[in-house]
Amino acid sequence: MSSLTQANNKKTHIFTAILYWEEDVYVAECPEVGTASQGELKVYKSH
């Protein structure tokens, strides 16, 4: 299969990201695939 054929056959998927604060961490969920992750927010300053 050529690269052009592969590029034309690619599908686009749209997923929902639900972000919220729970107790002392941020939680991210993706209901379409049933996953969740949690962690602290790290903020970086640019000079």
pLDDT greater than 90 at residue 15: yes
Q: Could you tell me the residue range of the domain that residue 26 belongs to? A: 12-39
Evaluate whether residue 22 is within a structural domain: yes
Q: Is residue 1 pLDDT above 60, yes or no?
A: no
User: Once rounded to an integer, what is the mean pLDDT over residues 7-26?
Assistant: 86
pLDDT at 44: 67
Per the domain annotation, does 28 fall within a domain? yes
Look up residue 7 and give its two tokens: 């590029």
Is residue 29 in a domain?
yes
pTM for this predicted structure: 0.56
Token pair listed for 15:
């997923």
Q: Is residue 1 part of a domain?
A: no
Percent of the chain whose predicted confidence (pLDDT) is above 70: 72
Residue 21: closest CA among 44, 34, 35, 39:
39
23 or 46: which carries more pLDDT confidence? 23
- What would the two tokens of residue 10 be? 């690619």
Number of domains into which the chain is organized: 1
φ/ψ (deg, to 5) at 8: -70, -25
| Model confidence at 20: pLDDT above 80 | yes
